[in-house]
Amino acid sequence: MKDRVALMLAAFWWGSLTTIGFLVVPMLFARLGNPSVAGNFAGQLFEAQSWIAIGCGLILLIHFRAKADDRMSGPAMTAIFFILGALLLALLQQYAVAPRILARENLKLWHAVGSGMYLVQWVCVGVLLWRMGERKPG
C-alpha cells in the first residue's frame, strides 16, 4: 500500500511539472497577449509548483529512506538521488532564480537558467516515476 501511495505522489509531482511547464504557462503567453500579465501568472504557478515539489519530495524521501537498508545501496539509494536532485533544483529555482527574474536582472540569462533547471527537474522526477513503475518479478 505504501508503495502505491508513493507511486501516486511521484506521478502527481511529474504530472504537475508537465501540466504547468509544458501546457499551462505556454498557453498563458499565447492567449493573454500581455507578457507582463502572463509572466505574473506564470510566476505564481511556478511558486505553487515549488511547494508541490517540496511536499512530494519530502514524503518520497521519507518513504525511500524507510525502505533503504543500512548500507543505503540499490534502488532506494538511486531513488533518493533523483529525489534530492529534483528537490534541490526546485528550491534553487524558487529562492535563487525566481527573485532575479522578478527583479528583471539579466532577464534572458536567468529565464534560460530557470527553464533549464525546470527541464532537468522534470527529467529527474520522470526517471524516478519510470523506475518506481517497473513491475517486480513474482
108 pLDDT above the threshold of 80:
yes
Residue located via cell numbers 518513504: 63
Q: Note the pTM of the prediction, 2 decimals.
A: 0.92
DSSP-assigned letters across all residues of 48-80: HHHHHHHHHHHHHHHHHHHHS-TT--SHHHHHH
Task: Between 80 and 68, name the one with better pLDDT.
Answer: 80
Provide the pLDDT for residue 62.
93
80-89 mean pLDDT: 97
12 pLDDT above the threshold of 90:
yes
Task: Between 68 and 37, name the one with better pLDDT.
Answer: 37
In this structure, what C-alpha cell is assigned to residue 136? 517486480
Q: Where are the beta strands (DSSP E) in the chain?
A: none
Report the sign of the C-alpha dihedral through residues 50, 56, 60, 61, in that order: positive
